[in-house]
Structure 1
Amino acid sequence: MLARLRDPSDRLLAALLLAPAFALLALIVVYPIGKLIFNSFFDLRLQGGGNAPFVGLENYALVLQDKDFWNATWNTVLITLVTVPGALIMGLGLALLANLPFKRRWPVRLALLLPWALPLAFAGLIFAWFFHTEYGFVNDLLSGLQPEPTMWLLRPNWAIAAICLTIIWKSSSFMALILLAGLQMIPNSLYEAAEVDGASQWQQFREITLPMLMPSIVVALIFRTITALQTFDIPYTMTRGGPGNATETLAMLIHKNSIEYGDIGYSSTLAVFMFLLSMAITAIYLKRIASQA
Structure 2
Amino acid sequence: MTQQLVRPARRARPEMSEKQLAFWMLLPAALLLLAVVVYPVGRLIWTSFFDYSNGPVNPPYIGLGNYSKALSDSDVWQALKVTGLYIVITVPGGMLFGLLLALLANLPFKVRWPVRLSLLLPWSMSMAFASLIFAWFFNSDYGVVNDVLKRVGLNAPNWLSSPNLAIVATSITIIWKTSSFVALILLAGLQTIPNEMYEAADVDGAGAWTKFWRLTLPLLTPSLIVAAIFRTITAIQTFDVPYIMTNGGPGRITTTVAMMIQQQTLQFGNFGYGAAIAVLLFLLSLVITGFYLRHIGGER
SS at match of 2:263: helix
Alpha-carbon distance in structure 1 between the residues aligned to 2:127 and 2:157: 24
Give matches, 1:207-218, under 5 Å.
207-218=214-225
2:55–2:269 contact (8 Å) kept in structure 1: no
Query: Which residue in 2 is equivalent to 1:116?
Result: 123
Alpha-carbon distance in structure 1 between the residues aligned to 2:118 and 2:56: 52
Query: Which residue in 1 is equivalent to 2:104?
Result: 97
- State the Cα distance separating 1:110 from its structure 2 match: 0.5
**Is 2:33 the partner of 1:20?**
no
Query: Which residue in 1 is equivalent to 2:8?
Result: none
Alpha-carbon distance in structure 1 between the residues aligned to 2:298 and 2:83: 28
TM-score normalized by the length of structure 2:
0.92
1:215–1:289 contact (8 Å) kept in structure 2: no
Which structure's CA Rg is the greater one?
2
Letter in 2 for 1:18: L
Give matches, 1:10-159, under 5 Å.
10-44=18-52, 48=55, 50-144=57-151, 148-159=155-166
Query: Which residue in 1 is equivalent to 2:283?
Result: 276
Residue number among 246, 253, 267 corresponding to 1:260 in the alignment = 267
Letter in 1 for 2:137: F
Alpha-carbon distance in structure 1 between the residues aligned to 2:65 and 2:187: 48
- State the Cα distance separating 1:52 from its structure 2 match: 1.2
Query: How far does the alpha carbon of each residue in 1:188-234 deviate from its partner, in whole angstroms, 9 at most, with x for none?
Result: 00000000010001110011100110000000111111111101111
**% same residue:** 55
* Number of equivalenced pairs: 289
Alpha-carbon distance in structure 1 between the residues aligned to 2:29 and 2:89: 37
Say if 1:147 and 1:218 are closer, same or farther in 2 by CA, change over 3 A.
closer
**Is 2:187 the partner of 1:187?**
no
Alpha-carbon distance in structure 1 between the residues aligned to 2:245 and 2:24: 49
Alpha-carbon distance in structure 2 between the residues aligned to 1:44 and 1:260: 13
Alpha-carbon distance in structure 2 between the residues aligned to 1:7 and 1:147: 79
Alpha-carbon distance in structure 1 between the residues aligned to 2:254 and 2:85: 10
Alpha-carbon distance in structure 1 between the residues aligned to 2:296 and 2:30: 25
Say if 1:291 and 1:49 are closer, same or farther in 2 by CA, change over 3 A.
closer
SS at match of 2:79: helix
Alpha-carbon distance in structure 2 between the residues aligned to 1:292 and 1:49: 46
Query: How far does the alpha carbon of each residue in 1:107-144 deviate from its partner, in whole angstroms, 9 at most, with x for none?
Result: 11000000111110111111111111111111111125
Structure 2 unaligned spans of 5+? 1-10
SS at match of 2:298: helix
Query: Which residue in 1 is equivalent to 2:7?
Result: none
**Is 2:206 the partner of 1:199?**
yes
TM-score normalized by the length of structure 1:
0.95
SS at match of 1:291: coil
Letter in 2 for 1:92: L
1:258–1:267 contact (8 Å) kept in structure 2: yes
- State the Cα distance separating 1:8 from its structure 2 match: 2.9
Letter in 1 for 2:171: C
- State the Cα distance separating 1:20 from its structure 2 match: 1.8
Alpha-carbon distance in structure 2 between the residues aligned to 1:242 and 1:58: 29
- State the Cα distance separating 1:65 from its structure 2 match: 1.3
Alpha-carbon distance in structure 1 between the residues aligned to 2:40 and 2:232: 22
